[in-house]
Amino acid sequence: MAEGLILPSPVWRHGHVVDDTTAGRVREFAVRGKHKHAVLVSGTEVLFLPSAVPDLDTLTVYKGWFPNLSRAIHVVSAIANTTAKLPGGRQLIEAVNTRAASGGGGPDGVERAKTLSHVVAVARDDTGEVVGEVHLEGPSPYSLTCELIAWAAQRLASERREPSDPWRHSGSTSLSPAAPRPASRGCDAASQPSRTRRPSRRSP
């Protein structure tokens, strides 16, 4: 895990994609009536949403797979990134990561069936006030990732387009954010009510 924490996470900030520190920030989100913590991570939303929402000023993605450990992961990130800057620091992190890595693989179908994905999108205006909040739920993160990768591969194969450079952020991508997906794939609206208000400037 420490090795992944020293890799930068792209964020959308003031009209540009810039690198931020993975797990460098912790945010709290409401999930099924409880407050859960999540850490800053990389996400494809940074590459696709700005073209769909032109007045979007800032976009950051957080992951809450281990909500109770989010603050601890934040501290580990700070230590790992400081260590990586020292002579031999990266080699030390790689060695620690290799020893700690498990070869057991991911969870089986039974274990995946016990978990679900819960996605929270929060939009704020330029004063920091929440102007919109949406919740989606879907299958296990492992199952959801497999389904979306397979769906994306089918889309790319059927459209036969030349791959574009997402870092250029030209707005032309091989997969349109509005492209339809099969009803059995991805996430659906969660039972938790969403809040919306017309924003003056959006910043999820």
Contact 203, 125 (CB under 8 A): yes
Interval 81-85 mean pLDDT? 91
Q: What is the chain's mean pLDDT, rounded? A: 80
pLDDT of residue 97: 74
Stated as kind and residue range, the H or E segment containing 191 is none
Question: What pLDDT sits at residue 187?
Answer: 62
Q: What is the pLDDT of residue 113?
A: 86
Higher pLDDT, 159 or 132: 132
Is residue 189 scored above 80 in pLDDT?
Answer: no
pLDDT of residue 169: 44
CATH classification at residue 161: 3.30.360
Does 203 map to a domain?
no
Residue 152, judged by CB atoms within 10 A of its CB (0-12, 13-18, 19+), counts as middle
pLDDT at 181: 52
Return all residues near 94 (Cβ < 8 A) that are at least 6 apart: 3
Q: Give residue for tokens 């450079």.
A: 165
Q: How confident is the model at residue 172 (pLDDT cuts 50, 70, 90)?
A: very low
77-86, long-range: CB < 8 A, 24+ apart: 77/5, 77/21, 77/22, 77/23, 77/24, 77/39, 78/24, 80/2, 80/3, 80/5, 80/6, 81/5, 81/6, 81/21, 81/24, 84/6
Task: Evaluate whether residue 66 is within a structural domain.
Answer: yes
How much is the pTM? 0.73
Residue 204 belongs to some domain of the structure:
no
How many of the other CB atoms lie within 10 Å of CB of 117? 17
- Provide the domain count of the chain: 1
Q: Does a structural domain hold residue 175?
A: yes
- Of 190, 186, 184, nearest to 137 by C-alpha is 190
In the chain, pLDDT over 90 holds for what percent of residues?
42
Q: Is the dihedral of CA 21, 201, 132, 143 positive or negative?
A: negative
The parent domain of residue 184 ranges over 2-102+109-196
Instruction: Examine residue 17 and state whether it is found in any structural domain, yes or no.
Output: yes
